[in-house]
Amino acid sequence: MLNLSDHFDVLLQKIEPDGERAEFARDIPALVRDYLQQHEDIETVEPYSRLAGSYARCTAIKDIKDVDLLLTLDRSYRKKEPEEVLEKVFSVLGGLPEALGSSSKPVIRRRQRRSINVHVDEHDFDLDIVPAVVDRGIDKPLAIPDRDWSRWVETHPLGYADKLSELNGKHQDKVVPLIKLVKHWRDVQMCYRRPKSYWLECLVYHLIDNGKVTTKRRYYAELFQLVLASIAQDFRQDLEMEGKVPEILDPMLGNNVAHNWERAAFETFMRRIDESLGWAERAIAEDDEEKAVELWQKVFGEEGVPTEVEAQKAMRLRADALAGAVFVTSEGRVVTGKQERPAIQVPPQRFYGEP
């Protein structure tokens, strides 16, 4: 069995968020937070705002198009109608471009179901500001307004972020990269009717948390194949029932986050799952590296999975050596990254050769 660990390492590096956009995603929410915190027409409470969504959970991939910002409000807002609170936030944000005073002036683009969207045209970047009432503390479920349902609904994104981080730590830091691989797979395989990123996160989270997919001493190739196989098995009964779609439960509150998944979209998803599972199983069973790479390229795209990795391996080994992330195993192999088995760490290197 070929694990192609180097190829998957390169793939994961390729789908990491762009550095410049990640920096912008980090900086702009702080400016918006400061503006809203100081505004007299809206009463915020500590911590005033918090990043949420995939960027905050480190599960974002490639070009970051948007971030979610929770605007933490006083509990008195819970007595107001959701529409009224959303309109208040929309009104307050009207002065944001002038307050920021930069060339990247945001434009208030639209009211959304549970948030107000701020669009930064120069960077083609969106910030979704979600009003959230803090009733029992920031570490407890929050109440957010739902315009369509005309009521307040509970959400617990910060609690989920903590649980995901905990699960990732218990499983050799493999859960978050696995989520990223699944998201990238979705982007490659599906142009339309794509399942939402959060649905995919929850799917992977539950598969790892309930033990259906175990990570110990497994490489990403096998892990990804197991995820596909588990989804195919778990959703098969729903697929065979006319008009049925599966539920995907929120890890914190237990509600069905995929309540609006349409049957046609679910059927498309399952066709892609079955097709990719066939390629993945053949790739893992393949003894010829070139053929295995070709099969994985069908799964993740030719641009994602490199044919040649030696140059990338050398660059990564150099970077790991400088950072002190090189280890020697009991078998005498030189390896990099976090180790599950006992290994001796090579001291960080600072020798660059003779001048």
Per-residue pLDDT tens over the stretch 287-322 = 999 999 999 999 999 888 888 776 566 556 556 665
pLDDT score at 120: 80
Burial 12-25 (b: 16+ CB within 10 A, else e): bebbebeeebbebb
pLDDT score at 3: 87
The structural domains of the chain, with segments of one domain joined by +, span: 19-155, 160-300, 310-345
pLDDT at 121 over 90: no
Nearest by Cα to 302 from 188, 135, 198, 149:
188
d(CA 112, CA 106): 16
pLDDT in tens, 20-75: 888 878 888 888 888 888 888 999 988 888 989 898 999 999 888 888 999 999 99
> pLDDT category, 102, cuts 50, 70, 90?
low
pLDDT at 351 over 70: no
Compute the radius of gyration of the chain from its Cα atoms: 23
pLDDT in tens, 200-243: 999 999 999 999 999 999 999 999 999 999 999 999 999 999 99
Task: Identify which has the larger pLDDT, 157 or 335.
Answer: 157
Task: Identify which has the larger pLDDT, 22 or 1.
Answer: 22
pLDDT score at 340: 47
pLDDT, averaged across the chain: 87
d(CA 33, CA 49): 6
Nearest by Cα to 232 from 205, 212, 214, 217:
212
Q: Which tokens hold the place of 111?
A: 């009211």
Right CATH number for 160-300 from 3.40.50, 1.10.1410, 1.20.120, 1.10.10?
A: 1.10.1410
d(CA 304, CA 186): 13
- CATH number for the region 19-155 comes to 3.30.460.90
Q: What is the mean pLDDT of residues 99-115?
A: 74
Residue 158 CB: number of other CB atoms within 10 A?
A: 22
Nearest by Cα to 231 from 188, 185, 168:
185
State pTM to two decimals.
Answer: 0.85
pLDDT score at 10: 92
Q: What is the mean pLDDT of residues 327-331?
A: 62
